[in-house]
Amino acid sequence: MYFTYTNSIWRNLKNFIHENSVIRRKFSSEVKQEVKFDNFIEFRRAQASRSILVQVQSENSYVDLCNYCSKFGDIIGAHHYELKDNSNYILIEYKTLESIKEVLDSAHYNLESTGIPAYSPLLWFKAAGVVKGNSVKLLNDSNKKGILKISNGLYQTREADVMELILSAENVSDQIKTLHELTKLNDLEIRLRFLAAKQIENSISGIFPKASALPFGSSVNGFGKMGCDLDLVLRFNQGIVKDNINSRLVFHTKENLTNERSQVQKQMECISDILQIFLPGITSVRRILQARVPIIKFHHLLLNLDVDLTMSNMSGVYMSELLYILGEIDHRIRSLIFVIRKWAQSVGLTNPSPGRWITNFSLSCLAIFFLQNVKHPLLPPIDLLNKSATINDIRITENGLNCTFLRDHSILDFRTENNSELSELLLQFFEFFSQFDFSNKAISMNKGSAIIKPDHSSIYIVNPLEPNLNISKNISLEECERFRIEVRNAAWILDNEIENAKSNSKSTTKLWGIANLFKTSQETVIKPNFFFKPRMVEIKNLFDDKDEEKVISDENDHLNIKESVKTLETNLTKKFKINKTSDR
Ligand code: CTP
Ligand code: MG
């Protein structure tokens, strides 16, 4: 017997999965018409603005807490979770923003502690009996129990349980779907990510009331796995609209003419101090300011998150939007990328720390490129999204990157005729990259085809938003070779598994299907060539500026960029106006 479980563990697990899928279905039906990336982000940001997080004694405190909190307004949801240290939290969502103001105005600081009195939506619930709640007014359900939507919402299905459910699937394609369903980010995890962003935004709102902290990367691009890091970009001026341009009153500001890069580094030092010194829950703050994209890394104890905060431009957000849109085009894409990421992690191709190995982001790009090149493509070249953009899709970053592409894929002139099962697509992915000529060819998702490699990088993936940059520049020759060996192994294994699954009856006790792909590299069929240098690298080498291509270095560059952003915006707007007239 491969795994043995008592009935009660099974029941709990199945209940949990059922509960979660009900929530997901409910959420997806709530936002179905708002599936555009901007709407999704706005929906989640608004939800976070109407939410507070309260530390409680245990899950049982929720009736008391909801009783107490409902005097500040209608509560529309409560989500409980417990962390490894047995601390318990309930996230409460109010119907209106006014309630948050009331609830925070009513809260007080613990006068016996030496804590710094920071104002944030992270609170704790004082022991019972101190203040009694008034009459209960619950929006969804007069029964208080009905308000707790999720209990233990950060519960991650154990690896062994995921495997057991994979083994009980019908066929290889179902295994892939099961893996996706069980491991993708859930509703509560997304809520906590947006709450983390809100906490940072609030902390500087005095001087920067228009500041936005925006999640990007796998937390929002549809490829996020439970427990993935949160990537955040903090922009001081994101909410500044050009509408006020005619106002005769202009804010006094400090001149910001010095080298933009060193200016950003200074600002980040300051922000990292605010996070470290003042914000509850934020710990282990580290600055990596010499990198091409300087970042602040920290851990959020109460929200259970590892966060990378940048203050660079919006390109990461637009890149996430692009991946989100591509993932929306066909229902197979996200499941396929999930199984590829999981496979790469299992065989040791990816690694949580940065290094010379392939990243999840590069893997997703490889999968996208494959889907553009498969017989009957599932995805169009990105150039088609660029060409199909409308005037509402114009986005230019502050440093002049043109991130204009069609946001509403439903009007895209592209339909796939590919009816392949997920299992076939996965096999074709492995076969495709077993034969890909990485030595001479670069991958262009914009063109949807291979192009001549511009330099000697081991793998060259053209960044679709910054075509002069290579997304996979970090990958060493050795890691590229390991990738080629592992895709060949995987193709060989999967081919056999698909054949066997057709003829043999499936077993829930013996490994079969994709479970056989998830073996550690020690178990692989072909061993990597040990001729290459060891994989570990010095962290400082990763952030060596000499290695980087585009560094904005002086005041003139800064002014030139402002100028060219303006010209680009004007030209694009003109172009759209001309097109519109000629369309008529
Ligand atoms: N990004 C980019 N160019 C790169 C690296 C990253 O534009 N060369 C952007 C992408 O939008 C990417 C995001 O930064 O999704 C975050 O990068 P990273 O955390 O490395 O990747 P994720 O997609 O978030 O994957 P993971 O789940 O491993 O965090
Ligand atoms: Mg990430």
What is the torsion angle, in degrees rounded to the nearest 10, for the CA atoms of residue 107, residue 111, residue 115 and residue 120? 10
Q: 260 phi and psi, to 5 degrees?
A: -60, -35
CATH 1.20.1440.230 fits 331-530, yes or no: no
Q: Which ligand is located closest to the Cα atom of residue 230? A: 2
Give pLDDT tens digits for 215-228: 999 999 999 999 99
Burial of 394 (0-12, 13-18, 19+ CB in 10 A): middle
Specify the range with the lowest mean pLDDT, choosing from 99-113, 438-452, 475-489. 99-113
Q: So what's the pLDDT on residue 408?
A: 93
Angle at 378 between CA 374 and CA 380, to 5 degrees: 100
What does the radius of gyration of the chain's CA atoms come to, in whole angstroms? Answer: 25
> CA-to-CA distance for 404 and 579, rounded, in angstroms?
15
**pLDDT at site 540:** 41
Q: Which of 25-39, 229-243, 487-501, 538-552 has the lowest mean pLDDT?
A: 538-552
pLDDT above 80 (res 56): yes
Tokens 């479970």 map to which residue? 515
Average pLDDT for 180-201 = 96
472 CA closest ligand 1 atom index: 8
Percent of all residues in the chain with a pLDDT value above 70, rounded to a whole number? 78
* 3-class SS of residue 75: strand
Residue 9 pLDDT > 70: no
What gap in Å lies between CA 449 and CA 369, rounded to an integer? 8
List the structure tokens of 522.
């020690």
- 355 C-beta closer than 6 A to ligand 1: no
pLDDT at 18: 47
Report residue 123 CA to chain centroid gap. 26
Alpha carbon separation from 512 to 174, 276, 337, 423 (Å, rounded): 12, 48, 20, 13
Q: Please choose from 361, 401, 446, 463 the residue to mutate so as to test ligand 1's pocket, defined by most ligand atoms within 8 A of CB.
A: 361
Ligand having the closest approach to the CA of 227: 1
Give 157 or 556, the one with higher predicted confidence. Answer: 157
Assign 465 a pLDDT band (cuts: 50, 70, 90).
very high
Rounded CA gap, 298 and 310, in Å?
Answer: 12
Q: Which ligand is nearest to the CA of 363?
A: 1
pLDDT top residue among 3 and 222: 222
Interval 362-416: pLDDT, tens: 999 999 999 999 999 999 999 999 999 999 999 999 888 999 999 999 999 999 9
- What protein residues have CB closer than 5 angstroms to ion ligand 2? 217-218, 229, 231
- Alpha-carbon span 100 to 121, nearest angstrom: 8
> How high does pLDDT run on average in the chain?
84
Measured in angstroms, how far is the CA atom of residue 191 from the centroid of ligand 1?
Answer: 20
Helices (H), 126-236: 159-167, 172-183, 187-203
Tokens at 450, concatenated: 């291979």
Q: For residue 194, is pLDDT > 90? A: yes
Please indicate whether residue 351 or residue 158 has the higher confidence score (pLDDT). Answer: 351
State mean pLDDT over 531-549: 40
Ligand 2 midpoint to CA 325 (Å): 17
Is it the case that residue 580 has pLDDT exceeding 90? no
In the chain, the amino acid numbered 209 is P
How many CB atoms are closer than 10 A to CB 348? 16
Residue type present at position 473:
K
Strands 148-150 and 75-82, by their bridges, are parallel
pLDDT of residue 577: 63
Tokens found for residue 276: 């470290």
Strands, E, within 44-145: which ranges? 51-56, 75-82, 88-94, 122-124
Name the amino acid, one letter, at 52: I
Q: What is the mean pLDDT of residues 64-70?
A: 94
What band does 24 get if pLDDT is binned at 50, 70 and 90? very low
Return d(Cα 78, Cα 63) in angstroms, integer.
10
CB 458 within 8 A of CB 475: yes
Q: How far apart are CA 517 and CA 512, in angstroms?
A: 9
State the Cα–Cα distance between residues 362 and 177, nearest whole angstrom.
Answer: 22
Q: How far is CA 21 from CA 25, 31, 76, 106, in A?
A: 6, 15, 19, 36
pLDDT score recorded for residue 520: 63
Q: CB of 481 closer than 6 A to ligand 1?
A: no
**466 close to ligand 1 (CB < 6 Angstrom):** no
Closest CA to 200 of 48, 96, 44, 47: 48
More confident residue, 338 or 511: 338
177: helix, strand or coil: helix
pLDDT-based confidence at 8, cuts 50/70/90?
Answer: very low
What's the pLDDT score for residue 240? Answer: 60
Spatial contact of 121 and 100, defined as CB atoms under 8 Å apart: yes
Give me ligand 2 centre to Cα 530, in Å: 30
Atom of ligand 1 nearest to the CA of 228: 27
- Asked if the model's pLDDT at residue 430 lies above 80, the reply is yes
Indicate the pairing of strand 305-310 with strand 122-124: unpaired
Could you give the CA distance from residue 176 to residue 330 in angstroms, rounded to a whole number? 15
State in Å: Cα 27 to ligand 2 middle.
23
pLDDT top residue among 350 and 544? 350
Average the pLDDT over each of 179-193, 517-531, 551-565 and give the range with the smallest value. 551-565
> What ligand 1 atom has the least distance to the C-alpha of 473?
8
- Report whether pLDDT(32) > 80: no
**Every domain of the chain and the residues it spans:** 331-530, 537-584
Contact between 233 and 213 (Cβ < 8 Å): yes
Q: Provide the pLDDT confidence category of residue 556 given band limits of 50, 70 and 90.
A: very low
SS3 101: helix
Please write the tens of the pLDDT for every residue from 557-575: 445 556 666 676 777 767 6
Instruction: Indicate whether 265 pLDDT > 50.
Output: yes
Q: Which residues of 125-150 are buried (b: 16+ CB within 10 A; e: fewer)?
A: beeeeeeeeeebebeeeeebeebbbb
